[in-house]
Amino acid sequence: MRLLHTSDWHIGRSLHGADLLREQEAVLGGLADVVVGESVDVVVVAGDVYDRAVPSADATAVLDRVVGRLLRAGATVVLTPGNHDSARRLGTFSGLLSVAGLHVRAATDRLDEPVLLRDEHGDVAVYGLPYLEPEIARHELAGGRDAGLARSHEAVLAEAMDRVRADLFLRPGTRSVVLAHAFVGGGVASDSERDICVGGVDLVPAGVFDGVDYVALGHLHRPQTLSPRLRYSGSPLAYSFGEAGQQKQAWLVDLDATGLAGVRPLFLPTPRPLTVLTGTLDELLADPAHTVFEQHFVSARLTDAARPADPMRQLRSRFPHCVHLEWAGGAAGGDGRSYQERLRGRSDIDVAGEFVTHVRGGVGATAAECELLARALGAEAREEAAR
């Protein structure tokens, strides 16, 4: 049996306000061609199907079309909710959808009920663990214990995996796959994931997932291998400029008669690459070397000594998909001193005046504005003293 391990589709996500639905559908819809070309039996999505708990109508329409293409290509689809999804909404009509070949595993109390698939070697049990919010799941999984489980991701996932292994024990000879959405020890985070830390207790030891043939992980957006049987597929698109240049992929997972037979990457296309450009505004607008980036999503880091006037409008005349702008020209103060060092010994009115000069691109506060700032700072000092 061959599985295609994906995760973190985040349908409906934007990039600094730029809609990504077209790019998402291009990549995700193209997986149907992979199903045919690579003879994929099962496509799994390990959480964060949508980018928000209440997705837009356009986002749900994209999912409908993508899943429809996968099913028509001949694949079974198994998906679970992540921390961005609403498990209850995603699980609506799951019983009816399973008849068509779409299996949504969203119920915590049924996480040990696998999707059973069959090939020439026998059964494969696919367990979909929905994202387990510790404060909620520790009571749902407590099994009558008054205090509930410990308030950590490790505790709730350990209990979930104990239930999975107990079910597997009753299915001798059955090969097994688990979908889980978690931050597993050894994984490397990106800056586009939503923090799932609960009181500092977010890491889950890899050993929690012992006893199954393959673990399809979701949550981290960088593809990575924690062990041959424990992997993150990463997101299908880059969702932050920190991922610029990163090759996105899914995993093709083969199971033979005895279990995991092999895993290889399937590299995904990039409809519109992300690029970070650094330089003065004039350099970015004129340098012929930047021609290849004109249709990319662009983050511009301007190094002009003074803040240029209306830089985004000018940048978009050349880079129509410029979505992020940072002015770094005055960030370091020009003398190598730290921010704390530059403030030492200066009055509040001096600092406020410098801020005005900074945001105005070198134009300082007028005498009347300085007087207004002084009155405001004096009022704040009096209020603080009265507390």
Has residue 271 got a pLDDT over 90? yes
CB atoms within 10 A of CB 135: 11
Q: Which tokens hold the place of 294?
A: 């004109």
Helices (runs of H) and strands (runs of E) counted in the chain = 12, 19
Which residues are registered as beta bridge partners of 288? none
Res. 57 pLDDT band, cuts 50 70 90: very high
pTM of this structure:
0.82
- Average pLDDT in the 349-373 region? 82
Read off the pLDDT of residues 110-160 as tens digits, 9 standing for 90 and up: 999 999 999 999 999 999 999 998 888 888 888 766 566 888 889 999 999
Has residue 387 got a pLDDT over 70? no
What's the one-letter identity of residue 198? V
Instruction: Identify each DSSP E strand in 308-350 by its residue range.
Output: 322-327
Q: Which fold has domain 2-267?
A: Purple Acid Phosphatase; chain A, domain 2 (3.60.21)
Mark 95-117 as b/e (b = at least 16 C-beta within 10 Å).
eebeeebbbbbbbbeebbebbeb
- Average pLDDT in the 304-329 region? 92
- Average pLDDT in the 258-282 region? 96
Has residue 378 got a pLDDT over 60? yes
Has residue 379 got a pLDDT over 80? no
Q: Check if the beta carbon of residue 325 is closer than 8 Å to that of residue 315.
A: yes
Res. 198 pLDDT band, cuts 50 70 90: very low
Mean pLDDT of the chain: 90
pLDDT of amino acid 251:
98
Task: Characterize the bridge pairing of strands 122-128 and 175-181.
Answer: parallel
For residue 151, give the nearest of 114, 202, 205 by alpha carbon.
202
pLDDT of amino acid 336:
47
pLDDT of amino acid 343:
67
pLDDT of amino acid 135:
86
Domain chopping of the chain, boundaries:
2-267, 274-386
Q: Could you identify the residue written with the tokens 């059955």?
A: 174
Read off the pLDDT of residues 207-251 as tens digits, 9 standing for 90 and up: 999 999 999 999 999 999 999 999 999 999 999 999 999 999 999
> Of 196 and 27, which is predicted with more confidence?
27
Q: Could you identify the residue written with the tokens 């997986």?
A: 31
Has residue 200 got a pLDDT over 50? no
Has residue 294 got a pLDDT over 80? yes
- Average pLDDT in the 262-278 region? 96
What's the one-letter identity of residue 154? E
